Structure 1
Amino acid sequence: MLIQKIETFCDSFVGFVRITTDDGRQGWGQVSPYMADITVQVLHRQIAPWSLGRDALDIDHLVDTIPEREHKFPCSYLYRAMCGLDTALWDLRGKLEGKRVCDLLGGTARPLRAYASSMKRDITPQDEVRRMLGVRDQYGFDAFKFRVGAEYGHDKDEWPGRTEEIVAAMHQAMGDDAALLVDANSCYSAARAIEVGRMLEANGVSHFEEPCPYWELDQTREVREALSLDVTGGEQDFYMPVWKQMMTSKVVDIVQPDICYMGGLTRTLRVARMAEAAGLPCTPHSANQSMVTLFTMHMLCAIPNAGKYLEFSIEGADYYPWQEGLFVRSPYDVKDGCVTLPDAPGWGVDVNPAWLEKSRYQVSEVS
């Protein structure tokens, strides 16, 4: 079964990929969101030439061969584009076998505990607390992640005192039974991250994400060694030697690869297996309601070292207008703080034809 055609449908934020084989079978995937219109050009220029006419079921070979053939471009865009190929082929395989992707991996669908993940920093502590109480009461969440520091802030806060105020306010409002997680998005030096981390520990926070610039592995390890809460990271990383160094140097307590940034499910599973061998849980980054959260749900249902939670963004049309109307039926129903996979084979979701009609279309195919 050979790859005959690779089609893309995109806007600036989202790029869906449809692969058709020489016998007419199809699978759907997605390139990494954000700048998707650029990413699909990489897909057609640098991924498709090494994929067309190749075995559609030998996904491992493809995701290994493409970076070798494009070795002059060891960059994020190559992997963001390759995710579209990889995930469409997994969907194809699931539909061929009549199985969900998690079942192909030897897993079993189960309710996944989700944490309510806020993306906002330009929000007052009082308004953030109100939002979190609202989603707790409406959807049953019992775990909540909010933002501290300023994004790549060089030890600066979004505004003076915000971090201390929001941490105390969330702890007081949610109580000791709620799980509290924070994301610093590379804000702090090691010394300042340790200071902030001790304040977090005193307020019941259990998860401190990306405390230092993500490429400064030694700084992050210093923070992990100084604190008792979980120091986490990895969402930006796609290069396997970096992952190996993170594991062997014990940089983090929990690894957080992003399936779309990594180049797809296949390579992310390799990171999860590395983490399992190192005794580390894997809680992938899935910060929007495009297909990345669905990919992550399938993976968490299949890996033995799945972390405690699924990251589930609480942002709607005011923050992510581009994620509206992507699917015929949303796969993201939250009940009692949990989400469950759809029953259909493959990824189990259908892209909305109305969205496709408005998108920019491009095709690469065997001549």
Structure 2
Amino acid sequence: MNRRRDFIKKTALGALIPTTGLPLYKTGQGKIRQTDYSELDRILEEPVLDLSALKEPVILESVELLRFEDNFLCRVRTKDGAEGLSVGNNFQMVHLYPIFTNRIQPFFIGKDVRNWEQLLEEVYVYQSNYKLQNLAFWVPLATLEFAVLDLLGKLSQKSIGNLLGDVYHSEVAVYQANNYRGKSALESVERIRQNVEETQARALKFKVGGRMSKNADYPPGRTEELIPLVRKTFGDDMVIYADSNGSYTPDEAIRIGRLMEAYRYDFYEEPVPFDWYEETLQVAEALNVPIAGGEQEASMHTFRWLIQHDALQIVQPDIYYFGGMVRSMKVAKMAAAKGKECTPHISGGGLGYLYMMHFVSAVPNAGPYHEFKGFNNELPLECPTSPLTSEGGVVKVPTGPGSGVIIDPDFINKHKEVV
């Protein structure tokens, strides 16, 4: 069932009283808004993890980054021999592993990870790590967090989703993500059709524009032909999303967005470059198709602005790029307070799809469909509580302790510690 933007755009405020102490914001359309962040700020102060079952300290005796070829694992161990394991975002870690070993690993050895949320604040300042903010810092830190959550889940006999809060979704419906830029509209739609058949997904997302291309299409004319063609090919019942990866200036983004509206698209992702915040708001105010974004965002403060000012209707933190599930859950909760959905972006490779499912399971305002780029069949693992396959476009979330999967010990032993 197609979702439509269900919020009413706010009208300009009347006369504002300067003595309120609240910041004022003037939009691109000349509206004046009085900004009250108190509700979102309360959410940011609330703890995310439920670690009440852990009465004794959980001290990390070792933090290891392990590598076999271009696959990275993180293994944490306590003095009592408990262990947590994660799989990194290998596309990024192959470049970023020195930040893990030099700027993150030393800080956490000897720490009680029941205090994880406070430690996130402290490591951000440690050795001026805040100067590295963005993927360079947050991807290695997320790799560690997933291993710590695996450890804490095993110790408390809870799934990662249960550590993050109540589990609202035992299954996750997926949308099939595709990227066939460079192909003609006809070739693109045929490849999309084949992908959808493989997963039986009831929703899909494809790329428009040329990716941060200043309005250039790739190839020329592809987008305007493809938008109606995808709807015609898949029919009215298919949920369809489109992602421009910041391809457009505001005027062109609005023009393309109106074409999506004509063909009843369900969200429009990153219509302008990701850090064009006022321009994102300008596009959102001009269109009725919901605007999605946040994949590239590294700042909690900026998500706060985007949510408060209605620049996004759907927030998409990437749980690797944004530094883990704890930070991403704060974004989801801010979005929920303003009646918005959270549909996290998923990085390809590793066990990104598994971590996404655990995260989504605990998000009450999760969107109806979530990004899927394929299962990683190269990792030898077992999952006693889920087949980890897409049946009718739906994947069952594992319920075992921690991540709920067991990686083949022989495969782990092939990895050598990165020092």
TM-score computed with the length of structure 2 as normaliser: 0.80
Structure 1 residues 71, 46: CA separation in 2 closer, same or farther (over 3 Å shift)? Answer: same
Aligned to 1:75: 133
Aligned to 2:35: none
User: In the alignment, is the contact (CA less than 8 A) between 1:32 and 1:83 conserved in 2?
Assistant: no
Structure 1 residues 212, 355: CA separation in 2 closer, same or farther (over 3 Å shift)? Answer: farther
Aligned to 1:252: 312
Aligned to 1:347: 403
User: In the alignment, is the contact (CA less than 8 A) between 1:259 and 1:296 conserved in 2?
Assistant: yes
User: In the alignment, is the contact (CA less than 8 A) between 1:237 and 1:257 conserved in 2?
Assistant: yes
How far, CA to CA, are the matches of 1:129 and 1:111 in structure 2? 28
One-letter amino acid of the structure 2 residue matched with residue 93 of structure 1 = L
Report the CA distance between 1:14 and its aligned residue.
4.3
One-letter amino acid of the structure 2 residue matched with residue 26 of structure 1 = E
Aligned to 2:77: 20
Tell me if 1:58 matches 2:115: yes
Identical pairs, percent: 29
Structure 1 residues 210, 116: CA separation in 2 closer, same or farther (over 3 Å shift)? Answer: same
Runs of 4+ in 1 over 6 A off after TM superposition: none
Q: Which runs of 5+ in 1 are unaligned?
A: 317-322
Superposition pairs for residues 185-334 of structure 1, below 5 Å?
185-314=245-374, 323-329=376-382, 332-334=388-390
TM-score computed with the length of structure 1 as normaliser: 0.91
Structure 1, 186-195 or 294-303: larger mean CA deviation = 294-303
User: In the alignment, is the contact (CA less than 8 A) between 2:182 and 2:219 conserved in 1?
Assistant: no
How far, CA to CA, are the matches of 1:39 and 1:232 in structure 2? 28
User: In the alignment, is the contact (CA less than 8 A) between 2:243 and 2:268 conserved in 1?
Assistant: yes
SS in 2 for 1:5: strand
Report the CA distance between 1:358 and its aligned residue.
5.1
Question: 1:278-297: CA deviations, max 9, x gaps?
Answer: 22111000142422221111
Question: 1:170-206: CA deviations, max 9, x gaps?
Answer: 1110011101111100100000000000111112212
SS in 2 for 1:258: coil
Q: Which runs of 5+ in 2 are unaligned?
A: 1-57
How far, CA to CA, are the matches of 1:12 and 1:216 in structure 2? 38
Task: Report which of the two structures shows the higher radius of gyration computed on alpha carbons.
Answer: 2
User: In the alignment, is the contact (CA less than 8 A) between 1:186 and 1:214 conserved in 2?
Assistant: yes
User: In the alignment, is the contact (CA less than 8 A) between 2:245 and 2:271 conserved in 1?
Assistant: yes
Report the CA distance between 1:48 and its aligned residue.
1.4
Question: 1:82-113: CA deviations, max 9, x gaps?
Answer: 11221111110111122211122221552211
How far, CA to CA, are the matches of 1:143 and 1:332 in structure 2? 19
RMSD (Å), alpha carbons: 2.0
- Equivalent pairs, count: 356
Tell me if 1:102 matches 2:155: no
Structure 1 residues 141, 280: CA separation in 2 closer, same or farther (over 3 Å shift)? Answer: same
User: In the alignment, is the contact (CA less than 8 A) between 2:318 and 2:347 conserved in 1?
Assistant: no
One-letter amino acid of the structure 1 residue matched with residue 277 of structure 2 = L
Report the CA distance between 1:47 and its aligned residue.
0.8
Structure 1, 153-162 or 283-292: larger mean CA deviation = 283-292
SS in 2 for 1:20: strand
Report the CA distance between 1:350 and its aligned residue.
2.8
